[in-house]
Amino acid sequence: MELFAFHFSDVGNTLEQKFLGTSAFGTIDPKNLEAMMSSKVKDFNFGLRRHIFFPLLGDGIFTQDGQAWKHSRELLRPQFTRQQYQGLDIFRSHVDNFLLHIPHDGEYIDLQPLFFRLTLDTTTEFLFGKSVNSLKEIDGSKGNNFADEFDIAQNYVVQRFRLLDLYWLIGGPKFRRSCASAHRYIDEIIETRNEHKQVDLESSGRYVFFDAIAQDSKDMKSLRAQLINVLLAGRDTTACLLSWVFYRLARHPNVLARLNAEIASTVGYNSNLTREDLKKMPYLANVLKEILRIYPPVPVNTRTASQTTVLPTGGGPDGTSPVLIRKGENVAFCVYAMHRREDLYGPDAEDFRPERWDEDMPLLRDEKTAAWGYLPFNGGPRVCLGQDFALTEASYTVVRILQMYPKVKPYKCHENRSWIGWSTHQTKGIEKVAKERQKMTLVLSSGDGCKVIFGR
């Protein structure tokens, strides 16, 4: 992703490239993103993205345009109202299971795969009323096999996405098997849920996402598509957010100390947290905002012009004139690079510093720039429906972990794997971001995981 950021810093906030005579554009200008996602949203569609993603995601909200997307949006929006998870009970038992995996003897642990299991468990509980409990099961369980096949299929989708018009070159037997395996797993859950739905409703009486949308789905395929789309968003984005939070907390003791102090003064060791408790922790909110700034879950995305249109800025000799986008031309927007613009976030935009959100950043001095210069959850009509769910889960999880283990340090290891020590690459308690290895699938994760050592 740093190549994207470097390219924009070298060329400008909006650029044009030609490939085989066809123009393609890239932008990190908030005005252009507002046009593409809001005021001129009807001038753009997903283009090839539907075909690229379809073998895995099917006909769901992330592959749909037009009336089909509008229908899915109207169907899914009510399911993400806060009262569905107001009491935080949906997270509590799964975080309890997560905490059992943390070693007590000072050994290191890689949190990233555990966070993916945690969010798989909470999301399946929310979707189906019953979790796959991947944190409880040993390797080889159906839930973990599904996660493995889902990850393999995602990697193929990313390769297809990078090839754009040549996406069809990626789609061999292994890709098809992984997609089929993931679909089969969801189908089995649907069938099981249908068999026991009435009994479960009578015994628990609680809200289940599946039951709410099953009434509107015309067949198994359409129901599966919506579920797998929401499962992708619910598992991967929050798992990456949590991984990056602890990756950075381990390397920024000043931030960790302030966050621990806020937790101690607000809730102490009381693990029976409420949503109101989480609202009383502004520094925790700033930590999450800052992580989402420097590591947005979906760092780059594209749109295709469905008709000839104009973006408001980026053209001409000085880069301030409108830009003509012809029908069929692609525009990439890189939130990752936009979130690192020094003219928006200050000269220390490359630093992890949650305090900036309480300061007079350049970003906040203009209403439109403030609204469109920070987009971890997209914007406009397609703004993420599950952002409150994700932030609530992340907040709750961070607090519960730090209540039990307030000390977090990075695990550092040489190539020969024979040495363990603490990170020494800090200057005045601040380590520059983007020096770590990053892995880009459909989301941005750490290429080295999140290896830390906890203490009490």
Q: What is the amino acid identity at position 288?
A: L
Would you say 395 and 95 are in contact if contact means Cβ atoms under 8 Å apart?
no
334 marked ligand binding residue: no
pLDDT band with cut points at 50, 70 and 90 for residue 181: very high
pLDDT band with cut points at 50, 70 and 90 for residue 429: very low
Which H/E stretch holds residue 161?
A: helix 142-163
- pLDDT at position 244 is 98
Give the separation between CA 235 and CA 124, rounded to whole angstroms: 9
Is the per-residue pLDDT at 366 higher than 50? yes
Burial of residue 107, with CB atoms counted within 10 A of its CB: 0-12 exposed, 13-18 middle, 19 or more buried:
exposed
* Token digits of residue 424: 């020494």
Q: Of 77 and 137, which is predicted with more confidence?
A: 77
Is the per-residue pLDDT at 172 higher than 50? yes
* Percent over 90 (pLDDT), the chain: 65
Is the per-residue pLDDT at 232 higher than 60? yes
Is the per-residue pLDDT at 163 higher than 90? no
Is the per-residue pLDDT at 6 higher than 60? no
- pLDDT at position 280 is 97
Is the per-residue pLDDT at 385 higher than 70? yes
Average pLDDT over residues 25-42: 97
Would you say 307 and 46 are in contact if contact means Cβ atoms under 8 Å apart?
no
Average pLDDT over residues 279-295: 98
Average pLDDT over residues 216-236: 87
- pLDDT at position 111 is 98
Average pLDDT over residues 429-450: 82
pTM attached to this predicted model: 0.91
Give the separation between CA 120 and CA 224, rounded to whole angstroms: 16
Pairing of strands 451-455, 109-110: antiparallel
Q: Give the domain ranges of the chain.
A: 1-39+298-375, 40-297+376-455
CA 249 to each of CA 245, 387, 450: distance values in angstroms, whole numbers, following the listed order: 6, 22, 11
Look at the chain and count its residues.
Answer: 456
Would you say 18 and 357 are in contact if contact means Cβ atoms under 8 Å apart?
no
- Mean pLDDT of the chain, nearest integer: 88
Q: Give, rounded to a whole angstrom, the gap between the first and last alpha carbons of the chain.
A: 35
pLDDT band with cut points at 50, 70 and 90 for residue 424: very low
Give the separation between CA 394 and CA 116, rounded to whole angstroms: 12
Average pLDDT over residues 81-101: 86
Residue 2's CB: how many other CB atoms inside 10 A?
A: 13
Average pLDDT over residues 100-112: 92
Contacts of 434-439 with C-beta under 8 Å, sequence gap 24+, read 434/1, 434/2, 434/5, 434/294, 434/340, 434/350, 436/247, 438/1, 438/2
Average pLDDT over residues 39-66: 94
Is the per-residue pLDDT at 125 higher than 50? yes
Nearest to 314 by CA among 7, 74, 16: 16
- pLDDT at position 422 is 36
Distance, C-alpha 24 to centroid of its chain: 26
- pLDDT at position 441 is 85
The conformation of residue 365, written as its DSSP 8-state character, comes to G
Give the separation between CA 337 and CA 433, rounded to whole angstroms: 13
Give the separation between CA 236 and CA 151, rounded to whole angstroms: 10
Give the separation between CA 443 and CA 427, rounded to whole angstroms: 29
| C-alpha torsion 195→199→200→204, nearest 10 | 170
pLDDT band with cut points at 50, 70 and 90 for residue 84: low
Output Rg (C-alpha) for the chain, integer angstroms: 22
Question: Does the structural domain 40-297+376-455 have CATH classification 1.10.630.10?
Answer: yes
Contacts of 59-65 with C-beta under 8 Å, sequence gap 24+, read 59/221, 59/222, 59/225, 60/225, 60/226, 60/228, 60/229, 60/230, 61/226, 61/229, 61/230, 62/229, 62/232, 62/233, 63/225, 63/229
How confident is the model over 309-326, as pLDDT tens digits? 999 999 998 999 999 999
* Token digits of residue 165: 């018009």
* Token digits of residue 447: 């290429």
* Token digits of residue 88: 């935080």
* Token digits of residue 103: 């070693």
Is the per-residue pLDDT at 431 higher than 90? no
